Structures are given as C-alpha cells and as structure tokens.
Structure 1
Amino acid sequence: QSLGYGFVNFIRLEDAEKAVTTMNGLRLQNKTIKVSFARPSSESIKFSNLYISNLPRSMTQQELESLFADFGCIISSKILCNPKAGASKSVGFIRFDQRSEAEMAISKLNGTIPKALMAINSLNGFTLGNRVLQVSFKTNRPIPIRAF
C-alpha cells in the first residue's frame, strides 16, 4: 500500500529541475502533489514541522504563511479542511527549513493573539474571539479510529 510519497534519482541535474518545475503542484487523483529536491537528514532539520491550532476558520494558506514568514524559510504550509464542506478545521502546519526557525516561531507565537493576525482579522472582517493561537512541534501520533 502506498505511503503517499516516493523518491526518484535522476542522472542529470537538468532533468531533476525540469521534473520539479513541471510536476510540482500538479493534481493527481484528487491530490495536489509536491515535487522537490530531497533534503539530507540532519539534526538541524528534525522537528522543523509545526502544528498550529485555533486558526480562524476563514484564514487562507497565504495568510498563514504571512504570519510565520518572519521566522525563516517556509518549505511548505497547509490548512486542514473538511473534505465534504471544504471548511477549515482551524488547524494548520508549517514546515520550516531549520529547526531553529521553528523554535523561534513557537517561542514568539504560541499562546498569543499576534498583532499580524489581529490586523488580518480587521481587514477581512473575521474575529478570533477568545481563541489563542497554539503552536507546537508536529508529532507523528497515531490518528484515533472512530466508529461510524
């Protein structure tokens, strides 16, 4: 069974670059695929993926990236949505290039209602209410199985 990812070794660099530019973001079987150069594993990139909760339901992926952009190079971002309704689940992920960038974002944003977010709220007409942003390292905990 597929785990949803794979690796391809190219002989020529230009072929790899062409694959990234032409295939990244392509829709394949109702999924948007991400094609990028592999990053070598090292301690500096472990735990660089953040889990963010209590996001406003109307927040866009671009607004989420803007909120975290000052802390470093964002590799990827995602806001989870209900597949049927398309509405946000108020949860997102940000993957930074380096763990130190993720740590800085946690230290500055966790438990806060950031000024940038309040500005976005006023511009877009939505309110955060009493919600406080929760930012932590993403964990690979098992997803509970629910009976239907």
Structure 2
Amino acid sequence: MSIYVGNIPYEVTQEDLSSIFAEYGTVTRVYLPVDRETGRMRGFGFVEMSNEAEEDQAIDTLDGAEWMGRELRVNKARPKENNNNRNYSDGNRRSNNLARNY
C-alpha cells in the first residue's frame, strides 16, 4: 500500500521525504511526480513503508502536521483510476462529454 503526501514544497527531495517517514519505520520507496512540461515537482508524492502498522502510525502522526512551512495532507493512497475506457473519437473531449450528457 502507498501513502499519499500532499501539500509538500516543490523543492523537497526524495531524501527529505524519506527521512521524515523513517521516524515511523522502514521506508521502501518514495515517488515524487514531476510535471512533464515544466519538469517541476507537482507538490505531492507517495511513500511506501515495510508494513501497514508503520504506515498507519505515520499517517496518524503526520496528517495535518506542519513541515517546511506547509501543513501536510497524509492519507492512504487510492488506486489510480483506469482511463482506458474513455471514448474520444475526434480527440475533442469537451464536445464528446457534452454529447453524452444530453
């Protein structure tokens, strides 16, 4: 399972995030998504820990905590939605969505 960490500063590194979560157990992975166009971090990340008890403790303690001048949002990550079922025949998302709503 992954932990979602939101509202983190753009300059945070994987090492920064790993070190704060390491206080609650063994961090097995840290992922910080980057904007494809700007190359800049997107302000959120994901942390995986070695077991669920460690993850729960980290979530309970860090959610709402202030870190590097920001109030963290920390919770269990939800699975990514599968977007393969979209039907965009001409690539114009807006018109296709409008057509389905009427």
Answer yes or no: same fold by TM over 0.5: yes
SS in 1 for 2:30: strand
CA distance in 1, matches of 2:31, 2:50: 15
Deviation at 1:68, TM superposition (A): 0.7
Partner of 2:35 in structure 1?
Answer: 82
CA distance in 1, matches of 2:77, 2:37: 25
Task: Give the letter aligned to residue 98 of structure 1.
Answer: N
Deviation at 1:49, TM superposition (A): 1.2
Task: Give the letter aligned to residue 142 of structure 1.
Answer: E
The gaps in structure 1 that reach 5 residues or longer are 1-47, 119-127
SS in 2 for 1:65: helix
Quote the sequence identity (%).
26
Deviation at 1:111, TM superposition (A): 0.8
- C-alpha deviations, 1:124-148, integer Å up to 9, x for none? xxxx3xx410000011141667x48
Deviation at 1:84, TM superposition (A): 2.0
Q: Which has the higher contact order (CA 8 A, sep 6+)?
A: 2
- C-alpha deviations, 1:98-132, integer Å up to 9, x for none? 0000000011100110xxx34xxxxxxxxx3xx41
Cα gap change, 1:97 to 1:87, in 2 (>3 Å)? same
Partner of 1:136 in structure 2?
Answer: 75
Task: Give the letter aligned to residue 66 of structure 1.
Answer: S
* TM-score, scaled to structure 1: 0.53
Matched, 1:109 2:87: no
Partner of 1:52 in structure 2?
Answer: 5
SS in 2 for 1:84: coil
Partner of 1:32 in structure 2?
Answer: none
Matched, 1:70 2:70: no
The gaps in structure 2 that reach 5 residues or longer are 87-92, 95-102
Deviation at 1:67, TM superposition (A): 1.2
- Aligned alpha-carbon RMSD (Å): 1.9
